[in-house]
Amino acid sequence: MKTFKEAVRSKDFVISAEVFLNPESGAETIKVQTELLRPVVDGILLTDNQDGRLHLSPLAAASLVMSNGVDPIVQLPCRNRNRIALLGELLGAAAIGVTSLVLVRGNRVPQGFNPRPRAVFDVDATELIAMASKIKADESLPSLPDFYVGSIVTPHRPPPGWVPEKLSLKADAGAQFAQTHLCMDMDLLRDYMRHLVTAGLPRRLVVFAKIAVFSSAADARFLRDSLPNHQVPDELIRRLDQASDAEHEGVRICAEQLQQLADIPGVHGAHLVATRNLATIPAAIDAAGFGRGS
């Protein structure tokens, strides 16, 4: 099994994706989803109760994904665990063979979650990245984990003189790649990446852009309106509204954006999410002409 990290080192354009995790997720559902994505992705991201959605632990999911022949990328947020628990998860990830991590602060738990859990935030994302980097160099361990450590960034239109200080601090702490929040505004992303390239950030860490395959205009509006870090242009929503088959149009939009991403300096790949139908991810990748052999 080729790892996500190995793909980054050997391919010009790398693609990862997410499976659907929910309270009913188990070995069989994860197997079916993994088999669907395996031919076209280089890694599968496993979230950790993202946006308050309950599901099995990402390490349990990672073990199942690995057993089905795909390299997992495990997300760990600072929201849900204190320092000791996070260290335990990092050591557990190393023990089962996880090599790629996305270490994040974590969003607030949505209103209406009852009983409402208490957010922890014992450390921030940069501290968690530094913790993972220290573990990689801890000679007291019987074997050193070779983690490929990632973080999250939010594309925006920087003002004149802007310096990507937060991302630079994450790189200083040991981040080796960064995944953007959902950004389907290619003009905005090009502008943002120009600033990162000028600052030399793509020489220090690899950047992947997150895009979606929408099944309806309602899905696109929901993500745009409920998650402030997500960028979905009105023009894309109009296309979905006007399409006779919104899901097919969503595949076309994603395929077009994959092709555009491959030409944006500083972008090394894409991370794909589907809003409803996971089969739309392979369809979009195939329509764009990408895959493991590309």
47, 79 Cβ separation under 8 angstroms: no
Instruction: Count each helix (H run) and each strand (E run) in the chain, helices first.
Output: 11, 8
Within-domain flag for 116: yes
Buried b / exposed e along 98-108 (16+ C-beta atoms within 10 A): bbbbbbbbbee
Q: For residue 68, what are the CA distances in angstroms to 36, 63, 162, 263?
A: 11, 9, 44, 32
Within-domain flag for 178: yes
Within-domain flag for 285: no
249, 190 Cβ separation under 8 angstroms: no
Residue 86: its pLDDT value, please? Answer: 97
- Distance between CA atoms of 249 and 235, rounded to whole angstroms? 13
Residue 52: its pLDDT value, please? Answer: 59
Residue 5: its pLDDT value, please? Answer: 96
pLDDT tens per residue across span 24-61: 999 999 999 999 999 999 999 999 976 656 789 999 99
Which of 181-185, 224-228, 234-238 has the least mean pLDDT?
224-228
- Distance between CA atoms of 233 and 81, rounded to whole angstroms? 35
Within-domain flag for 183: yes
Which helix (H) or strand (E) segment is 63 a member of? helix 58-67
Within-domain flag for 226: no
pLDDT tens per residue across span 229-256: 899 999 999 999 999 999 999 999 999 9
- Residue 110 — pLDDT band, cuts 50, 70, 90? low
pLDDT tens per residue across span 60-101: 999 999 999 999 999 999 998 999 999 999 999 999 999 999
Cβ-based burial of 188 (10 A; exposed 0-12, middle 13-18, buried ≥19): middle
The pTM of the full predicted model, rounded to 2 decimals, is 0.95
**In one letter, which amino acid is 80?**
N
- Is the Cα torsion angle 241, 247, 249, 255 positive or negative in sign? positive
Name the residue range of residue 36's domain: 4-212
- The CATH number assigned to the domain holding 32 equals 3.20.20.220
Within-domain flag for 219: no
pLDDT tens per residue across span 154-175: 999 999 899 999 999 999 999 9
- Supply the DSSP string of 23-35, one letter for each residue: TT--HHHHHHHHH
User: Is 142's pLDDT higher than 90?
Assistant: no
Which tokens hold the place of 51?
A: 């946006």
What average pLDDT does range 16-21 have in this prediction?
96
How many domains is the chain partitioned into structurally?
A: 1
Within-domain flag for 173: yes
User: Is 293's pLDDT higher than 50?
Assistant: no
Q: Which residue has the higher pLDDT, 119 or 77?
A: 77
Which of 60-64, 110-114, 147-151, 282-286 has the least mean pLDDT?
110-114
User: Is 288's pLDDT higher than 80?
Assistant: yes
Alpha helices in 72-113 (DSSP H): 83-96
Average pLDDT, the chain: 94
**In one letter, which amino acid is 61?**
A
Within-domain flag for 263: no
